[in-house]
Amino acid sequence: MLFPTIDFAVFFAVVFLLSWLFTPFPRRWKLFMILASYVFYAWWDWHFVFLLAASTAVAQLGALAIRPTGSPSLRKAALWATVAVELGLLGWFKYYGFFATNVANVLHGMGIGAPLPLLQVTLPVGISFFTFMALSYVIDVYRRELEPASWLDFATYLSFFPHLVAGPIVRGSELLPQIRRRRDPRKVDFSRAAYLILGGLFKKVVLSSFLATAIVDPVFNSPGQHSSVEILVAIYGYAVQIYADFSGYTDIAIGVALLLGFTFPDNFDSPYTARTLQDFWRRWHMTLSRWLRDYLYIPLGGNRGGRWSTYRNIMITMVLGGLWHGAAWTFVMWGTIHGVGQVTGHWRRSRREARGLEPLPDRRWDRIAQRIVMFNVVCLAWVFFRSDSFSTALTLLRRLVTAWGPAPAVTPLVLLAIAVGIGAQFVPHGTVDRVRVAFSRLRPAGQGTLLAITLFGITTLGPQGVAPFIYYRF
């Protein structure tokens, strides 16, 4: 069930009303919310609700077996067993085909038959997201940072539909206390929810959809038919498309959760204003960045084992982060580019410190130059992320510098959409907050009129039908 559809509007209207009616009765509310979330998930394919239930049961049984008061050996065994099963489910559905194909290719090159059948395994929507949430819950219980929740609370936490299929990755310590707490409809931040939902709809329905059909899909699907200028604009267009698409989804998810009385962590903070790749990952998909830092990078040793160990840990984290996004070598290359960029930045800073040099001056033109360089490095990585194969990515990069000629696909409207997508990230947060406060001060009739006009504009500018969000397939 896609957010920007009539189906979801009807679904949410019913859920919103019944959710607040059941709020005085916590047990009924949780049972209702689990049912509603499973209906939401089953809208794509009802078979996969059993996978969600299995992941819930495995994680909860693991957390109960770990229990903070258990013996160290039992706790560790329960942790590893739970992690193995959860990652096994993820690996089977997401990586079996990738693994089997690459093993077959290697063995074929050696003249040996393939030992693994090449099965067609359907990728369940959102499996990476709810698997990571289940793992964070179990690991936090093991670290004694979280008490095991009740079965009902944990099932509500893992299946809660606003975050279920594409995040944000909300941790147990962030959401479980809110599930246990009684919510007050009078304290709902309606103005922020409306701003987030309508802003997310504009990003997805108008900005992302337009750029996808006008420039990105035609160029990436047939790079040999387009000129260097068209390829360059398509790469920049994809940078805006994926930002508008994914941040648009999380804006809607956060807004929907707010209307139900829940607060999710922010997931984006103007990522294309970053001046380093490290800063970019503090702003892009922030809940995944923190997950990789806390549950992968730091357990690997972080920056505690010397310079080369730090570089190794950065590379492992970023490459696995790339592979999390998809079972393809293009995603591995995407993660590698980000890893190499972060290692290079770390090396430059450590060299300056070792030589006793002062930090580089923070001048305006230096900031502009750093942002331009960083944006283009991120866009280089996006080429591999978007391409369906290495061959396509290399063709795009080759023709980027060799295929000079006319660029009919580059229209003023395409350039305007890219400029809006990037330029909006430089609008100060204070300006946005003032607009939202001004909206909140309007009378209900004024708010309703303004919302109706905005929604009409979005539906008018948007295409017929809405493509699935890009991150649904991760």
Residues identified as active-site: 325
Q: Are 52 and 34 in contact (CB under 8 A)?
A: no
Place of tokens 């019913």: 14
Beta-carbon contacts of 448 under 8 Å, excluding residues fewer than 6 positions away, are: none
d(CA 348, CA 220): 34
Beta-carbon contacts of 190 under 8 Å, excluding residues fewer than 6 positions away, are: 259, 440
3-state secondary structure the chain: CCCCCHHHHHHHHHHHHHHHHHCCCHHHHHHHHHHHHHHHHHCCCHHHHHHHHHHHHHHHHHHHHHCCCCCHHHHHHHHHHHHHHHHHHHHHHHHHHHHHHHHHHHHHHCCCCCCCCCCCCCCCCCHHHHHHHHHHHHHHHHCCCCCCCCHHHHHHHHHCHHHHCCCCCCCHHHHHHHHHCCCCHHHCCHHHHHHHHHHHHHHHHHHHHHHHHHHHHHHHHCHHHCCHHHHHHHHHHHHHHHHHHHHHHHHHHHHHHHHCCCCCCCCCCCHHHCCCHHHHHHHCCHHHHHHHHHHHHHHHCCCCCCHHHHHHHHHHHHHHHHHHHCCCHHHHHHHHHHHHHHHHHHHHHHHHHHCCCCCCCCCHHHHHHHHHHHHHHHHHHHHHHHCCCHHHHHHHHHHHHHCCCCCCCCCHHHHHHHHHHHHHHHCCHHHHHHHHHHHHCCCHHHHHHHHHHHHHHHHHHCCCCCCCCHHHHC
Beta-carbon contacts of 278 under 8 Å, excluding residues fewer than 6 positions away, are: 342, 345, 346
d(CA 217, CA 393): 13
d(CA 78, CA 75): 5
State CA 351 to chain mean position distance: 33
Q: Are 251 and 266 in contact (CB under 8 A)?
A: no
